[in-house]
Chains A and B, each alone.
Chain A
Amino acid sequence: MMTQVQKASFWRILSAFALMLVLLAISGTLRAHEGERHELHKAESVVNPRSDYWRQVREGVQGYTAVKGQETNVLIQGGGQNWRRLRNGPIASYGGVLLGVVVFALGAFYLWRGQVKLSQPRSGETLVRWTLAERVLHWYTALLFIFLAITGLSLLYGRALLIPLVGHKAFSVYAEIAKLLHNFIGPLFIVGLLLMFVAWVRDNLPSRIDIDWLRAFGGMVGDRHPSAGRMNAGEKMWFWLLASGGLVVSVSGLLLDFPNFGQERWLLQLSHLIHVVFALVLMAGALGHIYIGTIGTEGALEGIVRGRVDKSWAIQHHDLWCEQLAADESGSSVPDRPPLPETSHIAS
């Protein structure tokens, strides 16, 4: 039993299939005829050695030139063709789709699940979750990331999206600034990334409870509140995605940023493709991170803004971390944990 729509598309597929068969049959007969003609010609023609020669040149063979400079002795480089087709084709289109789908999915999830509320009322007692240094580091890196994403996306999609709106002149002025900012912010972002790695890597080492946390979808779905230490499995996944993706984006970015070390075109093209793909993946991840950290979870944002979280929130989302804090306070510190920030009790 098919619906009207299904029926219509079924017939469309069937007719497209039939058309394909007809075309194949026609081209088959044509090719058979061509074959005969080739047979006739074969006897009298010789293979032109020049076509092979120029085919090789097409693959980027090097010659001699009196003009000084990098790669000036290459007549034709074929890599640009692949680079252009990948960048303008699948990368630009699937990249846009990826970001669109993530935004849509997060929106849909929010409508379905709503905010993950505090299960217990606020206790009024707060714990220090992020030190000032950690918060500064987080926002430094986050802001630079957002700048990099906006300026980078402007180069990738500005021609299609912004030029029709603001015109060539205005967009060019903006794009020039965007490029400059991207090129300068890039290295500064790498510094933040490295510091963040050093600061938080110990908290993000995988542990057995992460599996249980993931099975329960981190309490995002259903009412279970899986256990977690200072970082839960979701935060750890984002940490490692950012660390590895960040490394790739940084290395490829530096190769593009400073083209005066003799990088040849193939390397620039490859770096560029890798850079854009990983940048898009990181942007998708960042959207999820931002969602969970803001409207997705009640009480999460205040931790990274003001440094303190309510004890109820901490017990709900990071119970093991809470226990650890309590243990540290009572002096029975577990040796393999880093010294944790002090707790404080504020009467509300």
Chain B
Amino acid sequence: MARMKFLCDEERCIECNACVTACKNEHEVPWGVNRRRVITLDDGLPGEKTISVACMHCSDAPCQAVCPVDCFYTTEDGVVLHDKDLCIGCGYCFYACPFGAPQYPQDGAFGARGKMDKCTFCAGGPEQDHSEEEFKKYGRNRLAEGKLPLCAEMCSTKALLAGDADMVADIFRERVVRRAGNDNPDLQRQPQGKPWGWETAYKEG
């Protein structure tokens, strides 16, 4: 059985935010909510790193552990989904999540939270696949169409990978080996220098 995972290769991500935009458009995400976001660490400094993040579909999900109405479930593909009909907008999953994935459309006065919204790995929700209801609440169900999440599918540098964890890991492992990572002393000793990475692109120093 597949276990779906995202992986963002921070050596490849160029901070174009296309995944953010594609997600927002594909699912017609509510105002004020972005299911995915791109973060640049050490912005503008040598060695800056950019990474795209959304719900990581944790194997032992903290959100699931704290939800007082127990509305999360993990699909056979290892995707963490929730039932908006049950959600009471308490905010606990948002307190618990390491990645800031759960978000809330504001609902009523004084910042009252509406139903929680988060990345579904393009797998919809508990409603009938491809139903109007499902689209309204959770966005498109691409997995049921045999497609992978749109953010990863359209990533121009293929920094963002999505799919079965084993395959994603294989792709990444192969990349790391070929790319001659900056930390691999054997490859650093080669005459042409480091063939990859920030230092090579910008000629540090």
Contact B86 A168 (CB under 8 A): yes
By a CB distance below 8 angstroms, the chain B residues around A172 are: 69, 71, 85-88
Known contacts A46-B183, A66-B17, A67-B38; A83/B71 CB under 8 A: no
Say whether B46 faces chain A, with CB atoms less than 8 Å apart. Answer: no
Q: How far is the CA of A176 from the CA of B20 in the complex (A)?
A: 31
Task: Give B85-124 as 1s and 0s: 1 = Cβ < 8 Å from A's Cβ atoms.
Answer: 1111111001111111001001000111100000000000
List the one stretch of A96-104, A130-138, A252-260, A337-345 in contact with chain B. A252-260
| Complexed CA–CA distance, A158 and B98 (Å) | 25
**Segment at the interface with A among B60-68, B133-141, B142-150, B159-167:** B60-68
Cβ–Cβ < 8 Å partners of A83 in chain B: 95-96
Give Cα A176 to B183, complex, Å.
Answer: 52
Interface assignment of A78: CB less than 8 Å from any CB of chain B = yes
B90 with A159: CB separation less than 8 A? no
B34, closest chain A residue (CB): A67
The answer, yes or no, to whether A57 is at the interface (CB within 8 Å) is: yes
Provide the B1-42 mask, 1 if CB < 8 A to any CB of A, else 0.
Answer: 000000000000000010010000000000010100111111
User: Once the chains bind, are A63 and B37 in contact (CB under 8 Å)?
Assistant: no
Among candidates A49, A71, A155, A268, residue contacting B183 with C-beta atoms closer than 8 Å: A49
Q: In the complex the two chains form, is A50's CB within 8 Å of B70's CB?
A: no
A173, chain B: closest CB distance, angstroms: 9
Whether, in the assembled complex, B205 has its beta carbon less than 8 Å from a beta carbon of chain A, the answer is no
- Whole-angstrom distance between the Cβ of A246 and the nearest chain B Cβ: 21
CB–CB A80/B38 < 8 A: no
Residue of B nearest to A57 (CB): B41
Residues of A within 8 A of B100 (CB): 71-72, 74, 77, 265
In this assembly, does B81 line the interface, its C-beta being within 8 Å of a C-beta of chain A?
A: no
- B38 to chain A: which residues have CB within 8 Å? 65-67
Taking the nearest CB of chain A, how far is it from the CB of B76, in angstroms?
A: 20
Say whether, besides A77-B100, A163-B70, A265-B95, A175 and B88 are in contact (CB < 8 Å). Answer: yes
**Shortest distance from the beta carbon of B109 to any chain A beta carbon, whole Å:** 9
On whether the beta carbons of B183 and A87 are closer than 8 Å, the reply is no
Is A171 among interface residues, defined by CB-CB distance under 8 A? yes
Whether the Cβ atoms of B95 and A156 lie closer than 8 Å is no
Contact pick for A168, options B20, B70, B97, CB 8 Å: B70
In the complex, chain B residues whose CB is within 8 Å of the CB of A265: 94-95, 100
Tell me whether A168 and B98 are in contact (CB under 8 A).
no
Cβ contacts A122-157/B at 8 Å (1 or 0 each): 000000000000000000000000000000000110
B125 CB, min distance to chain A CBs, angstroms = 14
Q: Range of interface residues on chain A?
A: 35 or more
Determine whether the beta carbon of A260 is less than 8 Å from that of B111: yes
- Residues of A close to B112: CB separation below 8 A: 183
Q: Mark A249-291, 1 if CB is under 8 A from B, else 0.
A: 0000000011111000100110010000000000000000000
Q: Residues of B contacting A258 with CB < 8 Å?
A: 110-111
Contact A155 B113 (CB under 8 A): no
Q: Which residues of B contact A72 (CB under 8 A)?
A: 34, 37, 39, 100
Chain A residues with CB under 8 Å of B110's CB are 257-258, 260
**A80, A88, A169, A259: which has the most chain B beta carbons within 10 Å?**
A80
Contact B43 A63 (CB under 8 A): yes
Q: How far is the CA of A94 from the CA of B126 in the complex (A)?
A: 35
B51 sits at the interface (CB 8 A): yes
Q: Tell me, in angstroms, the Cα distance from A324 to B112 when the chains sit together.
A: 51
* A261 contact set on B, CB distance < 8 A: 111
Bound Cα distance from A76 to B51, whole angstroms: 12
Asked if A159 meets B65 with Cβ closer than 8 Å, knowing A80-B95, A80-B98, A257-B110, the reply is no
Taking a contact as CB atoms under 8 Å apart, the answer to whether A84 and B39 are in contact is: no
Query: Would you call A112 an interface residue if the criterion is a C-beta within 8 Å of the partner chain's C-beta atoms?
Result: no
A45 to chain B, nearest CB (A): 8
Interface residues of A in 103-128 (CB under 8 A from B): none
**Pairs across A and B, CB under 8 Å, 21 listed:** A53-B49, A63-B41, A66-B37, A72-B100, A77-B98, A77-B100, A80-B62, A80-B97, A81-B96, A81-B98, A83-B95, A83-B96, A88-B65, A158-B68, A158-B69, A169-B85, A171-B69, A175-B88, A176-B88, A179-B88, A261-B111
Q: A75-B51, A172-B71, A259-B91 are in contact. List 11 more A-B contacts (CB 8 A).
A: A66-B20, A67-B34, A67-B37, A69-B103, A75-B53, A155-B90, A171-B69, A258-B110, A260-B111, A261-B111, A265-B94
